[in-house]
A and B are shown apart, each in its own frame.
Chain A
């Protein structure tokens, strides 16, 4: 197990494995996406209050989950970078940032499109919207800092520190903004309580969440492969490809 993990950490090995997985992940993602969309857009009944327009949550909620999840992944990579200086973790951290930023942006856009018919406005300065917006800024900060430093290994260490500082701050920002003002509905799905919606609604959300996870891994693998090629362009294993 440890050996497997160790091997996965070596760039040429990861490059090969990721290349093999990508076609499979493609199919799994496509299947999950179609299943989730079919369940969400056809099978699920319309909401008794919100009618058909609630259906955007099948994209919105999983995207919002992913935006937080990816930030945590980045912070974990950050810790790995600082402790073990693992090259692959650097690549994963850097490649995750744009994907996470896109999910955050997607959550914001779908949320405001939903807000127009429901709340009558695209944007309110509500707690969750605001903290999601700040999360987007944190992502952009990571991307910006990485671009600003020329030496990519130094840049990765800088970004690792930033991601760790950010992840300590995310809950603080979240709760302080929550305290400040909230209009958003409470969490729809929690682990411990019975969901406040019927299975025909929450099962598609879960399938979509899974599809987004697979998409994240898929996009991550592709980005990592490109980043590896760029960083290691002078090394021997790339010449052998």
Chain B
């Protein structure tokens, strides 16, 4: 080949390709969003519609739903690429696989994590969350959902070669999500009671930086294992 891509070009190219694929296949980003809304709807139905109760547990509900929605959409990061063989091409490319993995994870987050940001205020209002907590909720979603995609990518990479990867995937990934859940929900709750949630937000940001720096390497190693 005469034309060689630089790493940045390859990164952007892969990102654009994945976004384009998602755009042409609307169900991919609509489904997790719909699931998120549905799960949140289930809670008032199961717990009763008492406004005080709902307002108190709203941060937890929103975050549990976000976790489940992320779980549901994880499989799409590598599944179709694995099936049509483009994953092998990615692994064979001259660029560091970890960076290309990061591009794919970014695309996945833009498609499935970011939309949660748009519906979250609406749902928070419906659950009666105090309005001073809503900016914090959005901030936790903004910082927290990329972590979910990054950690989830490791799990998907480990299970992508399996026929029934789904149930194993949740067993692998959900325990690793615990810290995100704790800090995100606790930040929102702290803000709802009128205190300063910055400590939890700093912790979440630290988790994000930590997982951005380490998870792509683990994912790349797991992909090599799955494809070989």
A residues lining the B interface (CB < 8 Å): 82, 134, 137-138, 140-141, 144-145, 148-149, 154, 157-158, 161-162, 164-166, 168-169, 172-173, 176-177, 179-180
Given contacts A164-B218, A172-B207, contact A158 B158 (CB under 8 A): yes
Given contacts A168-B214, A177-B182, contact A148 B159 (CB under 8 A): yes
Q: Are B159 and A161 in contact (CB under 8 A)?
A: no
Nearest A residue to B218 via CB reads A165
Question: Which of these, B162, B164, B221, contacts A161 with CB under 8 Å?
Answer: B221
Q: Are B154 and A180 in contact (CB under 8 A)?
A: no
A selection of 27 A-B contacts at a CB cut-off of 8 Å is A134-B175, A134-B178, A137-B174, A137-B175, A138-B175, A141-B171, A141-B175, A145-B159, A148-B164, A149-B161, A154-B225, A154-B228, A157-B225, A158-B158, A158-B226, A161-B222, A161-B225, A162-B158, A168-B214, A169-B175, A169-B179, A172-B179, A173-B175, A173-B176, A177-B182, A180-B182, A180-B186
Total A-B contacts with CB atoms under 8 angstroms apart: 66
Q: Are B171 and A176 in contact (CB under 8 A)?
A: no
Given contacts A141-B175, A158-B222, A161-B225, contact A176 B183 (CB under 8 A): yes
Could you list 11 further interchain pairs (A-B, Cβ under 8 angstroms) beyond the known A173-B176, A176-B179? A134-B178, A144-B171, A144-B172, A149-B161, A157-B225, A161-B154, A165-B176, A165-B218, A166-B176, A172-B207, A177-B182
- Determine the interface band of chain B, counting residues with CB < 8 A from chain A: 20 to 34
Nearest B residue to A137 via CB reads B175
Contacts of A177 in B (CB 8 A): 178, 182
B85 interface residue (CB < 8 Å to A): no
B34 interface residue (CB < 8 Å to A): no
B194 interface residue (CB < 8 Å to A): no
A171 to chain B, nearest CB (A): 10
